């Protein structure tokens, strides 16, 4: 009998799911951020921290990269300071360098590039979580929903800090490769790549998430070594790659970062849909050892008395969502009824609260109505149970989840047509900058924070001292602060420039720390190169 040597054309190639599902995830993320990707009428930059500090820092770094200089020293703020080792400026993160070398518009960083950059780092977080859930043998649809929850919900979706998102994005890969270590799946390479992923989180320049992940991994390694102490060498490999890759940042830091407490608000959670799926997943798959570990991580993040620790709750909950999606239709009747009654109770309490606030004419957030609506729809969806097909249930749950995330994340994006006072302030003082740059000799400017709330030095490339200092020879303000200040210019914004006749002798900071930056950059480069080779040779993404 003749053998068949041709391929069945009706059978999809094996690479099809690996390409289509991440593509679908990309489409979901882009459509979710439609305000940033499909229009030019909204911005995520309109908040004090981003507009006043982060954007000028990005502008300075982009200008240095386009001048073919690696920005190691910032001479424009407080008499000069190192660039690497600072918190939240993104200088040490290699993927940020792609943004800094992107074409400028008349010397300024483009807002459209910043919008897509913000969207793509959320896509990176979602994609890495998708890969983690696939490694845990979850279905494509469940992994997709988990990735969407991680990239768009919780503290990752609510923040406007790119450094935090960049650090959080690597958390799923840290767990993915550690999971391979526990399965003895190329343990040496997996331990190295797990440490490298944590090192990349440190390079993001965020000061909170990397510390949390380090504490989490310390606990996971201790738990693993209790039964397999011979894997101590793998822990050493993990630490070597962690230190090597993060060296550029940690060698340059003036002090070791500490956890800072912040308010734990409801917008940091994964929503009613995500939380209910996570609880159902934990109950249904509790016998699996990894589910117990992930649930413990989420519980620690929820109970730890620091607002930033909620990231661990977010990470654990999003992983459990993949288990919950696959098991909620098979849950027993008691669990289903209990879930429905809890959701109805939450909706009832929310409805009563809205009614009381309306009757008493007390102002309240209109987004409470969305909580009421989602709670009722979710209760009805769970009541349907097995009467819905798996694809229909996935689409409905995913839609409710996106509805909740939009109620928290993109809801707050400022419309440029309604005014953007923080961004507008950046462009108001261009005439002051032009006047100061035309002055002969060195120019050192000081100003009160009330008059110049942003990083004037990095934004315009002028040596700037926030506050009142005696060594500056020019001052920006509405009125003079001393008799020896002579007005020499008045801007369109109403601010005036005063020349200080007798400034104190100036002793600027000399560039320092270059040796630490050199050795840190060398170690990071070697670690990154070794990690890339390992990832390529071991087919890290499968």
Q: Digits of tens for pLDDT over the chain (542 positions)?
A: 444 444 444 544 566 667 899 999 999 999 999 999 998 889 999 989 999 999 999 999 999 999 999 898 999 988 888 899 888 899 999 999 999 999 999 999 999 999 999 999 999 999 999 999 999 999 999 999 999 999 999 889 988 999 999 999 999 999 999 999 999 989 999 999 999 999 999 999 998 899 999 999 999 999 999 988 888 999 999 999 999 999 999 888 776 666 555 444 444 567 889 999 999 899 888 889 899 999 999 999 888 867 678 899 999 999 999 999 888 766 666 777 888 888 888 889 888 988 888 888 888 777 788 888 888 888 888 887 667 788 888 899 999 999 999 888 888 787 888 778 889 888 889 999 999 999 988 899 999 888 899 999 999 999 998 887 878 889 999 888 888 888 999 999 899 999 988 777 666 665 656 777 778 888 888 888 888 888 887 777 66
Is 496 in the same domain as 525?
Answer: no
Q: Let me know if residue 448 belongs to a domain.
A: yes
Residue 485 pLDDT: 87
Q: Let me know if residue 10 belongs to a domain.
A: no
Is 465 in the same domain as 525?
Answer: no
Q: Let me know if residue 274 belongs to a domain.
A: no
Q: Let me know if residue 365 belongs to a domain.
A: no
Q: How far is CA 476 from CA 242, 280, 392, 459, 504, in A?
A: 46, 59, 62, 15, 17
Three-state secondary-structure class, residue 82 = strand
Question: For the chain, how many structural domains are there in total?
Answer: 2
Separation of alpha carbons 513 and 499, rounded Å: 34
Terminal-residue alpha carbon distance, the chain: 37
Is 118 in the same domain as 148?
Answer: yes
User: At how many degrees (to 10) do helices 187-203 and 514-537 cross?
Assistant: 140
Residue 540 pLDDT: 72
Q: Let me know if residue 218 belongs to a domain.
A: yes
Question: What secondary structure letter does DSSP report for 410?
Answer: G
Separation of alpha carbons 396 and 374, rounded Å: 11
Is 474 in the same domain as 528?
Answer: no
Separation of alpha carbons 523 and 424, rounded Å: 41
Question: Sheet containing 444-447: which strands, arranged edge to edge?
Answer: 463-466, 444-447, 474-477, 496-500, 485-490
Residue 529 pLDDT: 87
Residue with tokens 């709330």: 453
Residue 409 · residue 428 · CB < 8 Å:
no
Torsion of CA 453, 459, 462, 466, to 10 degrees: 20
Q: Hey, how many other C-beta atoms are within 10 angstroms of the C-beta on 357? A: 14
pTM of the model: 0.91
CB proximity list for 281: less than 8 A, separation 6 or greater:
291, 320, 321, 322, 323, 324, 325, 326, 327, 328
Residue 259 pLDDT: 57
Q: How far is CA 191 from CA 155, 167, 173, 315, 530, in A?
A: 27, 19, 11, 20, 13
Is 525 in the same domain as 487?
Answer: no
Residue 500 pLDDT: 86
Q: Count CA within 13 A, CB hemisphere, residue 304.
A: 22
Residue closest to 144 by CA, chosen among 123, 162, 160 = 123
Is 433 in the same domain as 529?
Answer: no
Is 121 in the same domain as 160?
Answer: yes
Residue 469 pLDDT: 80
What is the bridge-based pairing of β-strands 81-82 and 444-447? unpaired
Q: Let me know if residue 374 belongs to a domain.
A: no
Q: Let me know if residue 132 belongs to a domain.
A: yes
Is 210 in the same domain as 247?
Answer: yes
CB-neighbour burial class of residue 491 (10 A; exposed 0-12, middle 13-18, buried 19+):
middle
Q: Let me know if residue 67 belongs to a domain.
A: yes
Is 447 in the same domain as 531?
Answer: no
| Extended beta strands in 21-100, E state | 42-43, 73-74, 81-82
Is 102 in the same domain as 160?
Answer: yes
Q: What are phi and psi of 500, to 5 degrees?
A: -90, 120
Is 437 in the same domain as 532?
Answer: no
Residue 231 · residue 277 · CB < 8 Å:
no
Pull the structure tokens for residue 514. Answer: 């270059």
Is 144 in the same domain as 85?
Answer: yes
Question: What is the extent of the structural domain holding 44?
Answer: 18-264+521-537
Q: Which long-range contacts (CB under 8 A, 24 or more apart) does 420-426 make?
A: 420/43, 420/45, 420/46, 421/46, 422/45, 422/46, 422/47, 422/48, 422/50, 422/51, 422/52, 422/454, 423/43, 423/45, 423/46, 423/51, 425/51, 425/453, 425/454, 426/51, 426/55, 426/56, 426/454, 426/459
């Amino acid at each position: 009998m003749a053998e068949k040597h041709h391929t069945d054309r009706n059978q999809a190639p094996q690479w099809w799911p690996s390409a289509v599902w991440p593509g679908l995830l990309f489409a979901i993320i882009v459509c979710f951020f439609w305000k940033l990707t499909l229009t030019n009428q909204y911005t995520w930059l309109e908040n004090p921290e981003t507009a006043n500090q982060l954007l000028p820092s990005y502008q300075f770094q982009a200008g240095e990269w386009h001048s073919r200089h690696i920005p190691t020293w910032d001479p424009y703020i407080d008499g000069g300071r190192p660039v690497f080792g600072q918190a939240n400026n993104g200088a040490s993160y290699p993927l940020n360098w792609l943004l800094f070398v992107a074409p400028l518009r008349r010397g300024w960083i483009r807002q459209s590039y910043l919008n897509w950059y913000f969207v793509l780092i959320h896509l990176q977080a979602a994609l890495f979580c998708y890969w983690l859930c696939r490694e845990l043998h979850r279905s494509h649809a469940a992994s997709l929903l988990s990735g969407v929850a991680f990239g768009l919900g919780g503290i990752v979706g609510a923040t406007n800090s790119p450094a935090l998102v960049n650090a959080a994005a690597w958390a799923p890969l840290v767990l993915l490769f550690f999971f391979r270590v526990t399965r003895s799946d190329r343990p040496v390479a997996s331990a190295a790549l797990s440490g490298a992923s944590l090192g990349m989180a440190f390079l993001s320049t965020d000061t909170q998430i990397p510390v949390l992940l380090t504490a989490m991994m310390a606990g996971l390694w201790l738990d693993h070594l209790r039964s397999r102490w011979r894997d101590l060498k793998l822990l050493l490999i993990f630490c070597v790659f962690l230190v090597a890759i993060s060296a550029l940042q940690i060698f340059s830091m003036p002090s070791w970062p500490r956890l800072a407490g912040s308010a734990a608000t409801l917008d940091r959670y994964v929503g009613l849909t995500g939380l209910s799926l996570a609880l159902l997943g934990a109950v249904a798959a509790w016998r699996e050892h990894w589910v117990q570990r992930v649930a413990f991580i989420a519980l620690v993040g929820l109970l730890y008395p620091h607002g930033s620790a909620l990231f661990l709750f977010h990470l654990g909950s999003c992983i459990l969502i993949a288990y919950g999606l696959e098991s909620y239709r098979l849950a027993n009747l008691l669990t289903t009824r209990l879930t429905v009654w809890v959701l109805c109770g939450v909706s009832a309490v929310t409805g009563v609260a809205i009614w009381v606030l309306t009757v008493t004419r007390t102002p309240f957030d209109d987004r409470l109505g969305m909580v009421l609506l989602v709670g009722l729809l979710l209760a009805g969806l769970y009541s349907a149970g097995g009467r819905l097909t798996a694809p229909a249930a996935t689409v409905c749950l995913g839609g409710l989840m996106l509805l909740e995330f939009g109620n928290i994340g993109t809801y707050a994006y400022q419309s440029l047509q309604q005014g953007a006072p923080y961004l507008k302030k950046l462009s108001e003082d261009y005439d002051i900058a032009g006047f100061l740059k035309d002055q002969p000799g060195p120019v050192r400017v000081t100003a009160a924070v009330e008059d110049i709330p942003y990083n004037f030095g990095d934004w315009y490339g002028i040596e700037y001292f926030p506050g009142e200092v005696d060594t500056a020879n020019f001052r920006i303000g509405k009125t003079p602060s001393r008799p020896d200040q002579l007005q020499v210019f008045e801007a369109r914004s109403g601010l005036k420039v005063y020349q200080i006749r007798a400034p104190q002798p100036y002793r600027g900071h000399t560039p320092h720390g270059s040796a630490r930056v050199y050795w840190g950059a060398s170690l990071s480069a070697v670690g990154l190169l070794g990690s890339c080779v390992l990832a390529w040779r071991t087919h890290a993404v499968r």
